Amino acid sequence: MTAREAAAAGVHSHVLTRLVASGDLERVARGLYRLPGDAPSEHHGLAVVAAAVPHGVVCLLSALEFHGVGTQLPCEVWLTVDRRARRPALRQPPLRIVRASGAALTAGIEMHPVEGRDVRVYGVAKTVADCFKYRSRVGLDVALEALREGWSAKRFTLDELDRFAAICRVQRVMRPYVEALVS
């Protein structure tokens, strides 16, 4: 639960401080609390980021890892925010910020429950197109691996991939790789 949610329920911040001091509540991050017996899930960092940055969308390597595509295990949470938004002030977990606007920001968002919180994550087809768009940041090998594994696991169709490639403006870049994969 967040401090804002506690305040809306009528719990004063001093009560939260006393509960943390007595060990009845555990402070996970600034403004984020949980019961002490709850073990964090595999995607605990995503839940923390979703609580701290509700307008952000998990993207690129973090989205690939969330969907189980590829072999990437990022040490940071990759997050897309609006190009005009302030940089999120979050120390833990470390963030890698990507800025976007318009359809590149809003298309392909899926909501997934993680530790009782809705986390906004790009779908597999949008993530693959983003990997080609940001291939200088993540590497072409990561983009190709995501394309290969996503296609072989039937996680997207060619129509979906083409739609997101058009939104990300990477259709011409992806075309030879997709043709080689399909043929």
pLDDT of the residue at 149: 96
Both tokens of 112, joined, read 């997934």
Range(s) of the chain covered by CATH 3.30.460: 44-182
Residues counted in the chain: 183
Q: What is the pTM of this model?
A: 0.82
Query: Is there a contact between 119 and 50 (Cβ–Cβ < 8 Å)?
Result: yes
Q: For 103-139, how does the pLDDT look when each residue is reduced to its tens digit (9 = 90+)?
A: 999 999 999 999 888 999 999 999 999 999 999 999 9
Q: For 14-48, how does the pLDDT look when each residue is reduced to its tens digit (9 = 90+)?
A: 888 888 888 888 787 777 777 777 666 778 889 88
Q: So what CATH class is 44-182? A: alpha beta
